[in-house]
Structure 1
Amino acid sequence: MPPIIEGPPEPGEAPRPLGKRLLWFVALWCGSLAAVAAVAYALRALIL
């Protein structure tokens, strides 16, 4: 079974494809946006 958390790439290893890196960035951005929106709506519901 491969390790869950990978270490940094080896010095001679090729970098991952740009599309895969951008997909992770967009996924993290969408997740954080959804979390902030959920907290905001929950706080708004408590105030009203």
Structure 2
Amino acid sequence: MDAEVILRELGPDVLQACPVGANIYAARTFVDSILAERDAVNDDLNFSMSP
């Protein structure tokens, strides 16, 4: 995933987690944690919507 895609998809979450001027690749830990959190939320929603 490149920086443009990350910022487009996660926008404000990444900007809040990464200081201004930070290299997006150096901040991968933050991005990975945001993605994991979103996956967990989506999994919870999908589970609650299953019949």
TM-score (norm 1): 0.51
Q: How many residues align?
A: 29
Percent identity of the aligned residues?
14
Partner of 1:36 in structure 2? 41
Please state which structure has a larger fraction of its residues in helix: 2
Structure 2 residue ranges without an equivalent (≥5): 1-21
Aligned-pair CA distance for 1:29: 0.3
Moved segments of 4+, more than 4 Å: none
Larger radius of gyration: 1
Higher relative contact order (CA 8 A, sep 6+): 2
| Secondary structure in structure 1 of the residue aligned to 2:46 | helix
Aligned-residue CA RMSD in angstroms?
Answer: 1.7
Specify every segment of 5 or more residues in structure 1 that has no aligned partner in the other structure, as ranges: 1-16
